[in-house]
Amino acid sequence: MFSTFNLYISPKEKMRGNKSGAWKGGIAIYTTIHVWIRNHKPNPKICDICGLPEYYNEKLGKLELSNKTGKLIRDINNFQWAHHSCHFWYDKENKIVHEGLDDK
């Protein structure tokens, strides 16, 4: 009996995550984690904080990734999509200080 499932796994798929030679474990720099999250957590086009869509008005522009806890971990549940202003106020109200960023 034939199966409709493709049993072939591409070499690229075999080298994902901790099987990759470039894998750094849970410790990675700020930008690297944001790029990884951006590739694994789809942008819903609606702010997770205020519920308004991207580009709702001239003040609410595109959505950016917002870290919920300030801890740099590779966990898509630790990030949310938010407008820049919503992201700013969320961090301020929750007293979030992000790891890996210089205080200026």
Give the model's confidence band at 87: pLDDT under 50 very low, under 70 low, under 90 confident, else very high: very high
Residue 6 inside a domain? The answer is: no
Give the model's confidence band at 72: pLDDT under 50 very low, under 70 low, under 90 confident, else very high: confident
The predicted pLDDT at position 97 comes to 82
The predicted pLDDT at position 88 comes to 93
Residue 86 inside a domain? The answer is: yes
**Alpha-carbon distance values, 9 to 6, 13, 21, 87 (Å):** 8, 6, 18, 39
Residue 19 inside a domain? The answer is: no
Residue 11 inside a domain? The answer is: no
Range of the domain at 82: 24-93
Residue 60 inside a domain? The answer is: yes
CB-based contact 49:83 (threshold 8 Å): yes
Residue 68 inside a domain? The answer is: yes
Residue 64 inside a domain? The answer is: yes
Asked whether the CA dihedral 37, 87, 69, 98 is positive or negative, the reply is positive
Residue 101 inside a domain? The answer is: no
Q: How many domains are there within the chain?
A: 1
Reported as a single tens digit per residue, the pLDDT across 11-69 is 777 676 667 766 665 555 777 888 889 999 999 999 999 999 998 887 888 999 999 99
The predicted pLDDT at position 28 comes to 58
